[in-house]
Amino acid sequence: MVPAPQVSVVIPVFNGEQTIVRALNSVFAQTFSSFEIIVVDDASSDRTADIIASYSDRLTIIRSTENRGAGAARNTGIAEARGRWVAFLDADDAWKPTKLERQIDLLERSRKSRAACATGYHLEKDGRKRAISLNLTPEQFRRDILFGCTISPGSTLIVERYVFDQMGGFDESFRRLEDWDWLLRFSERFEMDFVPEPLAEIYLTPRDFPPSIADTDPVHAGICRMGDKHAARLGSFRKRMQLKSSLLIEHAAALHRNSRPLAAALYVIAGLAVYPVRNAAFFRTLWRATKDRIIRQTVKRWRDWAAR
């Protein structure tokens, strides 16, 4: 029998013909070699199936007959995984060559209570790259996860397999925010380590931004489900207010992405009114978003003036 690998890499993909090769090549280029790759094709309608079929001798392919979302696709991959560790990579992202090696080395040296590890990452949008360094202790992570899912777990996270056996997989009723929901549940029972350096490349594409904030929109539905599901789980009033504030901020982010800055600003104000003492990452993000918008508007006005 073929011995089990140490790491099972789960890659959910939906209509990823433009990016899946980049993702796969970044796994093949890893300096850590004891891994298997499980690609879960979530009913793609483009050339994704043909592309991954050309790699069939190097990975396991599971094809869904209907599109069920990232959470369900990851759960399908987890059920197939043979490794002690399960690592996730979104099909439109990529890894640096030492990503798995650095994480496994840290986890092997950590206390047994550390059941997962995430890394820093580069965030790329419109040709611009920003480094996100996650220099967090397990205690800081447990506090910060109430303020939002900022660790990009879809492409930075590696988890010991038994964790899913004990606490379950991703909640498939979520079409968005399923990773935040899972991490909130994880933080109640386990600890996470971090490799601060950016070892993943996260590419923001137009499909990362939903077209509307209507009641049927997956982001809006996910926000409402988060509130309903976790309000009763959190033991203290302070934690409940932190989460409520964070969900209002998540509303604001969705509105901002849909070019509704005034409505977004009102949600930010409401979020700060509910719980004003937010983490530093929030204020850095808010400053960057405000600064970028001011710069864009200034450049547009200057070009309009120059064109007269």
Structure tokens at 202: 């996260």
CA gap 231, 175 in Å, rounded: 19
Q: What class, spelled out in words, does domain 7-208 have in CATH?
A: alpha beta
The model carries a pTM of 0.83
- Residue-wise pLDDT for 176-231, tens only, equals 889 999 999 999 899 999 999 999 999 987 554 444 444 347 778 888 888 888 87
- Domain spans, the chain: 7-208, 218-307
Radius of gyration of the chain (CA): 20
Say what the pLDDT of residue 212 is. Answer: 45
- Two tokens at 288? 């960057």
Neighbouring-strand partners of residue 203: 124
Rounded Cα distance, 140 and 284, in Å:
17
Res 211: pLDDT: 47
What is each CA distance from 36 to 76, 85, 228, in whole angstroms? 15, 11, 37
Structure-token match 């996650």, residue found: 134
What's the pLDDT score for residue 159? 97
The amino acid present at 16, given as its one-letter code, is: G
Low-confidence ranges of the chain (pLDDT < 70): 1-2, 111-113, 206-216, 278-308
Cβ burial of 17 (10 Å; 0-12, 13-18, 19+) is middle
Identify the pLDDT of residue 233. Answer: 79
Q: What are the residues facing 128 on neighbouring strands?
A: 125
User: Can you read off the two tokens belonging to residue 56?
Assistant: 């069939």
pLDDT recorded at residue 178: 92
Tokens 């601060």 found at: 196
* DSSP secondary structure letters along 91-111: TT-EE-TTHHHHHHHHHHHS-
192: alpha, beta or left? (left if phi > 0; alpha if psi -120 to 50): beta
Query: For residue 217, how many other CB atoms are within 10 A of its CB?
Result: 17
Q: Is 177 left (phi over 0), alpha (psi -120 to 50) or beta?
A: left
Please provide residue 83's backbone torsions phi and psi, each rounded to the nearest 5 degrees. -80, 160
Query: Do the Cβ atoms of 52 and 122 come closer than 8 Å?
Result: no
Predicted local distance difference test score (pLDDT) of residue 94: 98
